[in-house]
Amino acid sequence: MPTTHTEKERSELHRRVGERLSEDDHRYTTSRQRLVDALADSTRPLTLPDITKIAPDLAASSVYRNLEMLERAGVVRRINSGGNHAHFELAEPLISHHHHLVCTDCGGITDIHLKDELEQTLVEALNAIAQTHGFKPQDHNLDLHGACALCNEHKPA
Amino acid sequence: MPTTHTEKERSELHRRVGERLSEDDHRYTTSRQRLVDALADSTRPLTLPDITKIAPDLAASSVYRNLEMLERAGVVRRINSGGNHAHFELAEPLISHHHHLVCTDCGGITDIHLKDELEQTLVEALNAIAQTHGFKPQDHNLDLHGACALCNEHKPA
DNA sequence: AGTGCTTCTGATAATGATTATCATTCTATA
DNA sequence: TATAGAATGATAATCATTATCAGAAGCACT
């Protein structure tokens, strides 16, 4: 469980999510907790098939419905970086800010972190640009596209 | 025609694309030239409906097929950042490197540019990170998500 | 300007991830 | 423990994108 390590952190996570949901009159059911656990247990964003593999008894339709609800509640972030399936991860206030290595071959995603100083410079620059466009910034998204180590091996050409 | 301004630049663009396609035994047909023109005429990435509006006589199936072929040829870049439709723009060697403002409300995309110095710092940092993962970097992708000026007006809440 | 060969095109059907529907089951609270 | 609001799972519907296929160009060579 890389993103949230200790048991204390995990239950704190659930407490926060539960609180958030109850504000919208949503219940933090076992299915939803398991969904959040699956996302928290992973170092990388998961697809629907990933989730089904982890929790085969959860109905796909329910998983999609719950992911959508959790996204609206600001608990989950959806990532559409190509591939057949969308990827899902816990949203920013719940996990640390990071970026992604996206494999253009297999569609896999790996989390990466920028140095704080660079990150901050970047955010300031983006906000300045946004302002000149009358654009109200929410968050940003930085992907490095390329070939992951595994795909490099398979296709040494 | 913002991205490629003068007639000279435009014909140079077509020359380059045509050359690229002939390397793969593909013809640079009128339909394909019109596709490239549509993309070059726009300041922002276009969706299939956008293209259909510009050139209503091009069959959707052909447009998709040609966009896919042009993408494989390195002429077009596909962007999957949300919204129902994928967005398409000319690929990097043909237009200047830039990033995007993505409206989470209407799905619209606007091109933005980072200062050269910051851009370079960013690229170096990303390459360094990639190396530690055995990841072979190709290009990167930076989006600022938020609400565009138009959507801010419509929803002043 | 005709033949053969390959590539393009457009219409249409197929695919497949995601969403909507709906009847049923659960849960919190009275 | 009755009830009203939510949640679930099975299923069907949606809809952007892809695949298919028959006919139309385009090119090379004669």
Distance from residue A56's CA to nucleotide D10's C1', rounded to whole Å: 15
Q: Which among A86, A1, A76 is positioned nearest to A35, based on CA atoms?
A: A76
What are the chain B neighbours of A146 within 8 Å (beta carbons)? 130, 135-139
Q: B115 versus B150: which is more confidently predicted?
A: B115
Name the token pair of A64.
């999609």
- CB count, 10 Å around CB of A17? 24
Check whether residue B78 and residue B139 sit in a common domain. Answer: no
Q: Verify that A8 and A38 share a domain, yes or no.
A: yes
CA distance A140 to chain B (A): 4
**Do A142 and A69 belong to one domain?**
no
How far apart CA B52 and CA B59 sit, in angstroms, is: 8
Residues A129 and A71 in one domain: no
Q: Which of B49, B119, B9 is nearest to A129 (CA)?
A: B119
Is B58 in the same domain as B26?
yes
Same domain (yes/no): A82, A150: no
DSSP state of B83: S
**With 50 as the cut, is the pLDDT of residue B157 above it?**
no
As for how many domains chain A has, the answer is 2
**Strand B76-79 versus strand B99-103 pairing type:** unpaired
B89 & B102 share domain: no
Query: Do the beta carbons of residue A25 and residue A56 sit within 8 Å?
Result: no
Nucleotide with minimal C1' distance from the CA of A59 is D9
Give me the domain span that covers residue A150. 97-157
Contact A63, A48 (CB under 8 A): yes
- Single residue among A60, A95, A130 that ends a domain in this structure: A95
Same domain, B101 and B84: no
Domain limit, last residue, from A95, A112, A145: A95
First to last CA, chain A: 36
Same domain for B36 and B49: yes
**Residues within 8 A of A (CB atoms), B 118-147 only:** 118, 121-122, 125-126, 129-130, 133-147
User: Are residues B77 and B3 part of one domain?
Assistant: yes
For B42-93, write each residue's pLDDT tens digit: 999 999 999 999 999 999 999 999 999 999 999 999 999 768 999 999 999 8
Q: pLDDT tens digits, chain A, 157 residues: what are they?
A: 555 478 899 999 999 999 999 999 999 999 999 999 999 999 999 999 999 999 999 999 999 999 999 999 999 999 997 788 999 999 998 999 999 999 988 888 999 999 999 999 999 999 999 999 999 999 999 999 999 998 887 655 4
Of B94, B125, B143, which marks where a domain is finished?
B94
CATH number, domain with residue B43: 1.10.10.10
CATH number at residue A111: 3.30.1490.190
Contacts A–B by Cβ distance under 8 A? 119
Report the alpha-carbon distance of residue B34 to residue B29 in Å, rounded: 9
> In this predicted model, what pLDDT tens digit does every residue of B81-139 receive, in sequence order?
768 999 999 999 899 999 999 998 888 899 999 999 999 999 999 999 999 999 999 99
Q: Are residues A101 and A85 in the same domain?
A: no
| A82 and A105 together in one domain | no
